Amino acid sequence: MNKPFIIFAIAMTFIACNSKDENPLLSTETTPYGVPAFDKIKVEHYAPAFEEALRLAKEEVNAIADNAEEPTFDNTIVALDRAGGLLDKVSSAFFNVLEADGNDEMNEVAEYVSPLLTEHSDQILLNEKLFNRIKAIYNKRETLNLSPEDMRLLTETYKSFVRNGANLDDASKKRLSEINKELAILSLRFAQNVQSETNNYELFITDENELSGLPEDVKQAAKELAVDAGRPESWKFYPTRTSFIPVLQYADNRELRRELLLAYTTRGNHDNEFDNKEIIKQTMHLRVEKAHLFGFSNPADYILDDCMAHNSATVDAFLQSVWQPSLAKAKVEAAELQAMLQKDIPGATLEPWDWWYYAEKLRKSKYDLDEEQIKPYFELSNVRRGAFGVAHKLYGLNFEQINDMPVYNKDVEVFRATDANGNLVGILYTDYFPRAGKRPGAWMNNICSQYVDAKGVDHRPVIINVGNFTKPTANKPSLLSMDDVETLFHEFGHALHGLLSESNYKTLSGTNVPRDFVELPSQFMENYCYEPEVLQTYAFHYQTGEIIPDELIKKINNASKFNQGFVETELLSASILDMDYHKITTTDDFDVNEFEEKSMQKMQMIPQIIVRYRSTFFNHIFMTGYEAGYYSYTWSAVLDSDAFYAFKETGDIFNAKVAAKFKNLLKQGGTKDPQELYMEFRGKQADPKYLLQKKGLVD
């Protein structure tokens, strides 16, 4: 997902002492493009840097609130947007490393700073003097002759304060602050439990016969993991998608498939020290109470009030419109796979650990398409080069690797993005390989946001793309699956949203848009990865250098609608589960597993498919800020399918006029209402039929 990534705050005690001169996070020494001095930062630097940054940020905010002058747009709204620069710098450095290359010491720092950050945020949003200044400006906004972007900043600032409690009475403000702190701690613990369960599970296979069907590169990767673990006689597997998806696709050993899938889908649900069920209950109780404080009956309606969808009823109707055709298609697919299973194991019933295996066989049978035939053409650096090439054709961007930039891990690579005139657009970090300290999944984040300072200097953004793709082995480079290719293009789409930003204000730049709009740029890029003319620019065989044959391209596109009932049912069931949680209206106790099961029964989920994220490892909604928002991926899919059709209907997927209009949408970030932005681009509302047709869910 990117999913777009939202910084979470966490907590545990850490003590460290460093002088400002010794601390690279506080040093006035400049670094290229203003990036953090990752090569010099040590764990012990973070806590004192946070303390100093928080002190300065509080001084800046208090100076705005205590200003004796009449409140104006510049001395209050703009000043607030520009406040906390050092805190932004320290936070972005720390949380990016914590998620991508963390360890126990980093977790301790995080536990220490979490309540400090939450308290600081509440002190700003609940500062009565500050809000009175904002409200005074907001109330006379129509007389101020503000530009549209300035008006948007004023409106969004006012709404943010109101949505975060500025209009509550003192008792409610105090309780809200307590709730926010508790939620921050629970969010951390949820994520740590998922990570611990993922890292602590290890499956060692000692008999190679049990690995029948697995491709040699998958076995080689498992062998190298076992060697690293001190078990050279074995093959090691663990419950991450990089490790277990190839097993689900190719392993003849049905019990091995079952073992790894259940290890993945039961994380956080083992009644042990890493169990997340109680955390989920506490989280939902607090979210319900918070919604009630603001006069909403449930968390979903409170959260969605600031999104394109606006309320849970709209989201429910939208999800059902896509769910029904997806489920119907999945049932047809299940029957076909059941028939294949019967031939192998008479009397057996299709189970979730059988789906991927027989779907892979069916794809090969129907379309003569074996993913192992394709992977040699998807060498990681070539795929990334292909994504860069799409950005060049659409937006005139060029990417050049920089080898002397500070990085936090040797696997990180850095690129300078420039426009057709050679002007700097931004800096892109890529970090693509799994490691023990990296959370699962893929994401984009800002290291430095784009904005224009008081002197009129345009500070260009620094963006990072993170993934968990297969590492190179001794014999092969990193070769991507088709799903990996889509993920790389997806996260690069988020990166482009950040890189192309042309806002005056941090608050409105880049991906600072409603959650049900933020996935449009990322999912739009996915449309390009398997277009024939794009494949021919990056899909070269890693051994021979041969360009991907037209025959393979044809097979890929012929199979593009294959298994889409499964894909959409797995995704949408998670979206519906998310909404069911956030439509809870009481703080009564409930059983997490029973709640999830009732949700599946209500949506009539078929037993052959497991929801993409079961409750106890659903990081998106209990950790990263997509609560009541997982539907955004499908909502944005409607937008991206409609947007791509704007190109397709011209007969040119790189049509210059359409590309210029879409680039204009990207560069404006959150400076306009997203519906207004989309209407400016397309001239009409997005039509869901293009998504349903693309997925083969309707004729």
- Supply the DSSP string of 553-593, one letter for each residue: HHHHHHTTTTTHHHHHHHHHHHHHHHHHHHT--S-----HH
In a 13 Å sphere around the CA of 262, the CA atoms on its Cβ side amount to 10
451 φ/ψ angles, rounded to the nearest 5 degrees? -170, 170
What DSSP string runs through 660-691? HHHHHHHHTTTSS-HHHHHHHHHSSPPPTHHH
Q: Which residues pair with 462 in a beta bridge?
A: 427, 448
**Structural contact between residues 202 and 229, judged by C-beta atoms closer than 8 angstroms:** yes
What's the rounded Cα separation, in Å, for the pair 13 and 694?
51
3-state SS string for 76-118? HHHHHHHCCHHHHHHHHHHHHHHHHHCCHHHHHHHHHHHHHHH
Catalytic residue, from 491, 568, 570, 627: name it.
491
Dist CA 579 CA 602 (whole Å): 13
Q: Which residue has the tokens 């059902």?
A: 320
- Tell me the two tokens of residue 147: 């530009």
Catalytic (active site) residue 491: yes
CB 387 within 8 A of CB 415: no
Question: Contact, 248 vs 260, CB < 8 A?
Answer: yes
Do 419 and 499 touch, CB atoms closer than 8 A?
no
Cβ neighbours of residue 5 closer than 8 Å, sequence gap 6 or more: 99, 443, 444, 445, 624
Question: What 8-state DSSP symbol labels residue 523?
Answer: H
For 237, the 3-state DSSP assignment is strand
Helix %, strand %, coil % for the chain, to 5? 55, 5, 35
Q: How far is CA 162 from the centre of its chain?
A: 27
Catalytic residue positions, numbered:
491
